[in-house]
Amino acid sequence: METVTLIISTVEFAKALADETRQKIMALCCCELVSVNDLVDKLDVAQPTVSHHLKILKNAGLVKSERRGKQVFYTLDQESLARGCCQVAEDFAPNQPVKMVISVPE
């Protein structure tokens, strides 16, 4: 699993989120591996458009990808997303703290 954990600015983070199609993609690959074709089937945009959005999400460090044979599977990096959300809150809402809930492994 090639993990590209870029450190991006809050502007880049927000821009990556600021599109309906990308948010649909994020919801679809939030908790599982999905191929590009899976996404194309579930969205009403063409395959190159899906690839375009996946590239933006990947550059923002919000998805990870993994090739399996002819297919490439994507999944959302929930930790990166959560860190981005916390960073935005920390930067702009210092009086209204937002924290990641760390689940301590037993």
Contact residues toward its own copies (CB under 8 A) are 10-11, 14-15, 17-20, 23, 26-27, 30-31, 76, 78-79, 81-82, 85-86, 88-89, 91-101
Q: In degrees to the nearest 10, what's the CA dihedral of 72, 5, 31, 29?
A: -50
Nearer to its own copies, 35 or 87 (CB): 87
Burial class (CB in 10 A: 0-12, 13-18, 19+), 3: exposed
Question: Per rule CB under 7 A, is residue 1 in the interface with DNA?
Answer: no
Instruction: Name the binder of 4 from its own copies, DNA, none, CB < 5-8 A by kind.
Output: none
Instruction: Name the binder of 99 from its own copies, DNA, none, CB < 5-8 A by kind.
Output: its own copies
Q: Which residue has the tokens 């994020």?
A: 26
At residue 2, what is the residue type?
E
